[in-house]
Amino acid sequence: MQGLLTDLTEGPTAYELGLSKQMADTLTKHFPGYLWGVQVRARQGIADIRNLSLAGNWGYRLKLNDHYTASDWDRQCMLAGGEILERFKASRRRADEEAIAHMPTDFAGRHRPDL
């Protein structure tokens, strides 16, 4: 039990922060104008990608593979980011704030994806 408690209180590693930044930079480069949130949890082998401009409660989970290269990460991020934008029927080009403002929302004001 002590080990589990220790794991929960530890912050992200330098690797996790670096990879999170690399992924967020890739998303920002390919889909400008959107606010992207990336959280890498290497110990669990996952990376969570969210578009905070649309809805922070919906996202995409990538399984981390040790054999990925930098270009593989970029490609996986672009696919995940594109999938998120498609779910919200948002532009893959620069974010259109006017279009985002007119997207359907739920009772709490969060944008609704097309499930």
pLDDT in tens, the chain (115 residues): 444 444 555 788 898 999 899 999 999 999 999 999 999 998 898 999 999 888 777 889 998 876 667 678 788 889 999 999 988 888 788 877 777 776 777 766 666 676 5
- So what's the pLDDT on residue 5? 46
Which contacts (CB < 8 Å, 24+ apart) does range 64-73 have? 64/40, 70/22, 73/19, 73/22, 73/23, 73/26
Task: Look at residues 60, 61, 58, 62 and name the one whose alpha carbon lies nearest to residue 113.
Answer: 58
- So what's the pLDDT on residue 82? 92
- So what's the pLDDT on residue 115? 56
H/E segment holding residue 47: strand 46-51
The CATH number of 11-101, from 3.30.450, 1.20.950, 3.30.160, 1.10.3470, is 3.30.160
User: Rg for the chain (alpha carbons), in Å?
Assistant: 16
- So what's the pLDDT on residue 1? 42
Residue 109 contacts by C-beta under 8 Å, 6 or more apart in sequence?
Answer: none
Query: What residues pair up with 111 in beta bridges, in sequence order?
Result: 105
- So what's the pLDDT on residue 3? 47
- So what's the pLDDT on residue 53? 86
Both tokens of residue 109? Answer: 């004001």
- Is residue 110 within 8 A of residue 51, CB to CB? The reply is no
